[in-house]
Structure 1
Amino acid sequence: MTNDTPKAPRLDSTLSKGLRILDMLTATQGGKSVTEISKELELTKSNAFRLLQTLSTLGFVRQRENKQYVATLKTWQIGRRVVENLNLREAAATQMRMLSQETSDTVYLAVAEGLSVVYIDKVESQQPIRSWNPIGGAAPIHCVSTGKAIIAADYTFWRERLRGNLTRYTDRTITNLAALDADVARIQACGYATDTGEFRERVLGFGAAIRLPNGAPIGAIGISMPDVNLPANGEASYGEMVRRAAEEIMAQVAET
């Protein structure tokens, strides 16, 4: 009798440990010491140090003057190339223009980088009063609609990474996991995220995640505006707009 069950692939232990360190550092604000890394990942201190030296030599990690290690922008550069290879900006272009025409407000295309979102494309607002972030600009992932949409699309991954990292920016910022749990449940139920002035006071946002066919989020599309620009009862309609736009973009990505 034969066993046709495929064997799990053998993992290179050194590579997997190095990637775990890199994953930790990209999700950490302020850096980690060798001792913290070795303890949290259950590595010996000497092993953690050797791996950090290798990552530093390859340009993925650098050591600050306080002896803590942080991830460099090389990880973001690689991620950006992956996004570009997926033609995400090209796939999103039509829907971004459509959202701009329907709302006259700023439309962003964003991807996750560490505990932030980075704006990789935008359509400028046509309004006299507008919100503004440059292409290449960043915002805390837990405070803006595009970031919250990405979080909700893969909450198992993000929840522990955000523990202790929910920094307050306004009196509306979500700063504890219980409140984040509730907000994520709402996002997952309706299909879009909202920013009620959580990063910048009186700046609102509506965002929806863009996923690969396997469900993994690769970015988000969103509308951002000063609160004076939101029409009466506009939250539901704007949320539905970004949700439908994200679905159209996902169909485009699936074809590439």
Structure 2
Amino acid sequence: MTDESPDLPYNKAGLDKSFSKGLILLRHLATCEAPAGISDLSAALGMTKSNVHRLLQTLAAYGFVHKNAKSRYSPSLRYWEMGYEVWLHSRAGQVALNDADGLALKANCLVHITLAAEESQELILYDRIGTPIAHPMRRLWPTGTRVPIWRIINGWSDFVAFQIAYIAAKPEVELTSRRDEISRHLEDSGLTYEGLAEHVTAARDLGYAENLGSGLENIEGTACAFRDETGAPVGVLSTIYDRDGSRDGRREDTRRLNRLYAHSISRSLGFRDPN
């Protein structure tokens, strides 16, 4: 669904090579569908077996990996525990989560909270409210999903609402300064930079973005960005509901509530709109 991040540059000047290799090893283990052996890991990562063994021994000593009876390795729950602590201490995420409950209840819809990871130019699904286990969005957008900010998600035909909402909340100069980069990403998609710019302009005029991607034909929804005290967008609040049987009145109510709750999150984070 999204492109893999490039390998960490453990051979880059100024970085600790051993620590970098340990991070690469941990990340690779987290993506393995089954416990992996030293030979498999060595071949996959281009490291010597002795290097992989030493790193695994260190990670196991600190409780980050588990070694089974067949001498194969997998990440331990320590990895998850650290991630949960980060999740729990995200101020923007927790503030948004509090408001998402009210939005899901009043709009009778599913709500996604997406946070920005500017360091990697990605958006990360932080949490969801009201998603039934069998709902297709749970399969397509599991918690923790990372998607690019500036390019179409693999398998989709257009940008999705939370991407547009986030871009629309950023200064216009950032979109224009990335024109060449965005155009390269769109070369094989049939879309253009001008098409993205039109989506962004529409979202700014309306105060929300609407679903555009073709991944789910029977799903509607809107998305609104929220900001921190500096005015920078830090995340997006999205509504999702089944298209079948939806009425114009429901659409308008959902759009209004989405904007209202996104603005509430921004105020709670210290943003004061000068307008």
The reply to whether TM is greater than 0.5 is yes
2:182: which partner in 1?
162
Q: Is residue 130 of structure 2 the alignment partner of residue 124 of structure 1?
A: yes
- State the distance in 2 between where 1:249 and 1:135 align: 20
- State the distance in 2 between where 1:130 and 1:102 align: 22
State the shift of 1:233 in Å.
4.7
Query: Quick one: which of 98, 105, 128 aligns to 2:102?
Result: 98
Distance change (3 Å), C-alpha of 1:235 and 1:91:
same
- State the distance in 1 between where 2:248 and 2:133 align: 17
Q: Is the 8 A contact 1:107 1:124 kept in 2?
A: yes
What amino acid sits opposite 2:92 in the alignment?
Answer: L
- Counterparts of residues 25-44 of structure 1 (less than 5 Å): 31=6
Q: Is the 8 A contact 1:105 1:130 kept in 2?
A: no
Q: Is the 8 A contact 1:105 1:224 kept in 2?
A: yes
Query: Quick one: which of 20, 24, 47 aligns to 1:59?
Result: 20
State the shift of 1:127 in Å.
11
- State the distance in 2 between where 1:123 and 1:134 align: 12
Q: Is the 8 A contact 1:107 1:122 kept in 2?
A: yes
State the shift of 1:100 in Å.
0.9
- Counterparts of residues 1-256 of structure 1 (less than 5 Å): 31=6, 50-51=12-13, 54=15, 59=20, 85-113=89-117, 114=120, 116-125=122-131, 131-132=137-138, 133-141=141-149, 142=152, 143-154=159-170, 155-158=172-175, 160=178, 161-166=181-186, 175-228=191-244, 230-254=246-270
Give 3-state SS (helix, strand or coil) of 1:131's partner.
helix
Aligned residues: 202
- State the distance in 2 between where 1:248 and 1:94 align: 10
Q: Is the 8 A contact 1:130 1:226 kept in 2?
A: no
Structure 2 unaligned spans of 5+:
25-43, 47-81, 153-158
1:5: which partner in 2?
none
- State the distance in 2 between where 1:83 and 1:223 align: 21
- State the distance in 1 between where 2:202 and 2:143 align: 29
- State the distance in 1 between where 2:148 and 2:215 align: 8
- State the distance in 2 between where 1:208 and 1:148 align: 9
- State the distance in 1 between where 2:250 and 2:213 align: 16
Distance change (3 Å), C-alpha of 1:97 and 1:174:
farther
State the shift of 1:120 in Å.
0.7
Give 3-state SS (helix, strand or coil) of 1:59's partner.
helix
Distance change (3 Å), C-alpha of 1:125 and 1:81:
closer
Give 3-state SS (helix, strand or coil) of 2:244's partner.
helix
What amino acid sits opposite 1:162 in the alignment?
Answer: I
Cα RMSD (Å): 4.2
Give 3-state SS (helix, strand or coil) of 2:240's partner.
strand
Distance change (3 Å), C-alpha of 1:101 and 1:130:
farther
Q: Is the 8 A contact 1:192 1:240 kept in 2?
A: no
Structure 1 unaligned spans of 5+:
1-27, 35-48, 68-77
- State the distance in 1 between where 2:187 and 2:104 align: 31
State the shift of 1:130 in Å.
6.0
